[in-house]
Structure 1
Amino acid sequence: MAARYDHPGEQAAADPIRLLAIRDTPLSLDEVHAAVQDAAAGGTAFFVGTVRNHDGGQDVDALGYSSHPTAQAELRRVAEKVVADHPVRALAAVHRVGELAVGDAAVIVAVSCPHRAEAFEACRKLIDDLKHEVPIWKHQQFSDGTEEWVGAC
């Protein structure tokens, strides 16, 4: 009898990076979901980061994201590392730049893998590394008139 992981569907796909983008238009969960659908995936994990109306005990009135010109290449590097370390069937990551409103999606990532535990782990790694390594910065304006850059070096 063949081992559980001998089937090709139990392995990473040959080209699992299906969608990577940094854009100034609204993000679509449907677009990301379509990008990571894979018949061999038994688990698909998503993370959607949204703009909230507060941060650090202050009310947020406005928020904008900006990115460095290398951000797209860094996003690809992060995605390739996740793919190298996990049996990813499909991966997608999109991040918004520009002015966003409370409730808007700022980032959506998704990963499909043969099993749910792998999908959860790979998705967590993808969003954590994206937030720490891709040069995208958040500018928050608070209701008391103060402002703050988050993630800027």
Structure 2
Amino acid sequence: MSINPLLKLKSSLVFVSLFFCTQSIAAEKPPWDYDNNIYLELLQNSDDEMLLNKSTQFDVCGTMARNTDQMAVGVQINKERPEFIRNIILDFHPMDNGDFRDVINQKIMDMAFEMADLADGDKSSDDSVVAHAAWDWCIAQEPEHFAVY
């Protein structure tokens, strides 16, 4: 009995996601750790739209960092089938939203393929070079782009 390749890939991505979620927290928290989001506290006493955009950006960039790392591991595992993995990434990160989410999702795709050789499935996303590169790119974007979230 042969396992459907799509099911095998999705299962491996789910496994990798669960593996990363169950890893112990490193002594030094990654920059995208929830407790590092200073904008949440600032928003409690303000209704400033820019602070709201920065807080949203913080959350989106943290998610992007982890997702990019996971997708890079998926590319690494399936490097002999780039079109197949490209379609899988598009299932998770579509580029037909008509807003800045498309830019984020395209960057996830690009970085997953560009940095697949640096992905390390034995490390959590918190320690990943790929995740940190995605975070650095995302957090450097203009906060106004995150008003669509």
TM-score, normalised relative to structure 1: 0.30
Q: Which has the higher helix share?
A: 2
The structure whose Rg is larger is: 1
Q: Which has the higher strand share?
A: 1
